[in-house]
Structure 1
């Protein structure tokens, strides 16, 4: 086998491990997920799975990075293609719904970062910092989108973009809970009603 084929095979195996890691962690939690559980999921030995990553912590950080790549693909890239302002905020809402409710293979348990936040918010260390960084980027993206909408005059008069971003983040987190904890069949409709109220639609 040529070195290139070996490298391609190793990259594909790593991607498979991380994709299954994202799926398992979205359900079971990043901290709670065992090496044995993930190894069984991908059909490898524990030593074979952890080998390329050297430690569980490095594997966890890699899973978070892969989750961020998938979220960008599912939600942020389509939203970035929408016109700034209210259209982009609506595209973000549509993307969040796809991410939470329409990705049963990749995110069967909903938002991995939300699950990880509850696991790590009171802890210290590199995994906590990676989660904080990811959630900060998400909050900043929402804040930028609401500020653009305000600058375009597409928010209700007197609306505070920062407060609106805060409330949108709360609605999105609540939607994740409504879908995966409460199994609320009206969750999507409730989310849209909340978003449209904030946008003054």
Structure 2
């Protein structure tokens, strides 16, 4: 390996470490709390070293959003897509999401939940990116539902937009309620509510878990 390759590898590791720390911090405090100075101090690296990756706060914030999206795909979407049928994939998206929250991989459980509230009425690049990500996630859920309908696993009269919205809301709602209520109750109810909805809409409910 050349010296240039070694520097690039070290730089990639530093970038990944910073973004991992940024996403964890933002899951609790939001993106406004992210600064290059704060992350440099937390990770015991020089602030000047971070400027080779991001020139300012907004660049870091946008990079953290992209990193959180990649984490979402790795932890939630990819394992769901490995399931054998469309309906099982749809259920796995919700179940994997709840499992990700329950494991506490992020101290605030969800990066996007707090950032949505932080930037929902603040125009700018971050808001615009959040809108795109929200539309993509909703569209992805709709496509999973439509695939299950096409496969004859969900009834053809199902409103895919409505069902996608219900699944998403019941998943996202866990993040705030788990801070106030018994986590066992919250996670159990979020799981049961979506499972009940999917079983009621299924042509063959035996494809899904009983509980």
The TM-score with structure 1 as length reference comes to 0.90
Q: Spell out the pairing of 1:1-201 with structure 2 (5 A cutoff).
A: 2-104=3-105, 107-156=106-155, 158-182=157-181, 184-199=183-198, 200=200, 201=205
Q: 1:180 to 1:77 in 2, by over 3 A?
A: farther
Q: Conserved in 1, the CA contact under 8 Å of 2:34 and 2:57? A: no
Q: 1:181 to 1:16 in 2, by over 3 A?
A: farther
Question: What SS does the aligned partner of 1:159 have?
Answer: coil
Q: Conserved in 2, the CA contact under 8 Å of 1:74 and 1:98? A: no
Deviates more, 1:177-186 or 1:79-88: 177-186
How many residue pairs get matched? 199
The TM-score with structure 2 as length reference comes to 0.86
Q: 1:180 to 1:72 in 2, by over 3 A?
A: farther
Match of 2:208 in 1: none
Consecutive unaligned residues of structure 1, counting only runs of 5 or more, are none
Q: Conserved in 1, the CA contact under 8 Å of 2:31 and 2:115? A: yes
Q: Conserved in 1, the CA contact under 8 Å of 2:95 and 2:191? A: no
